[in-house]
């Protein structure tokens, strides 16, 4: 789980969505803290699909699944474990 968190943090930092000293917690809302919006969310989805060799169904793009590091990690785990 923490490996997925780190991958996401690394992506957000590399792309400039998150600064180096940000202390984003696993249950912080990515949209409410101003880290991402709907367009950046799609870039994140693209990154996760490539990184984990998965296809994320559009139905899964909900705030519950994709607005926090914890939610995203859970969704990725679910998809990678079939």
Partner 1 sequence: MDTTICKNCILDSQIPGITINPKTGLCQHCEHYTPLSEEKKGGYLIKMDALFNSPPAGGKYDVVFALSGGVDSSYALYRLKKEYPRLNILAVQFDNSFISETSIENAQKFCALTKSTYMRLSLDQERLRDTFNKAALSTDAYPGFAKYRASDICNTCISIIKQKTIELALSTKSPFIVFAFSPGQTDAPFIQLTRPFLVWMRKLFDGNLKAMGVAEREEYLIDTRLIPTGSFDHQVTIIHPFLVWNYDKPAFKKECINVGWTDPGLKDHNSSNCLLNAFAIKNHLEKYQIHAYAYDLAALVRQGNMKRDDALKKLILNMSDASIEEVQRELNLKNK
Binding residues for partner 1, rule: CB under 8 A, are 14-19, 31-32, 34-40, 42-43, 46, 58-59, 61-63
Residue 26 contacts residue 3 (beta carbons within 8 Å):
no
d(Cα 51, Cα 31) in Å, to the nearest integer? 22
Smallest separation, CB 82 to partner 1 (Å): 22
Establish how many alpha carbons lie within 13 A of residue 58's alpha carbon, considering only the half-sphere containing its beta carbon.
1
Compare residues 23 and 38 and give the one whose CB is closer to partner 1: 38
Compare residues 23 and 58 and give the one whose CB is closer to partner 1: 58
């Amino acid at each position: 789980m923490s490996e997925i968190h780190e991958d996401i943090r690394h992506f957000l930092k590399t792309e400039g969505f998150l600064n180096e000293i940000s202390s984003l917690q696993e249950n912080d809302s990515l949209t409410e803290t101003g880290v991402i919006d709907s367009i950046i969310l799609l870039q994140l989805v693209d990154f996760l699909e490539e990184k984990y060799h998965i296809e994320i169904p559009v139905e899964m793009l909900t705030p519950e699944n994709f607005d926090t590091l914890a939610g995203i990690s859970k969704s990725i785990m679910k998809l990678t474990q079939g």
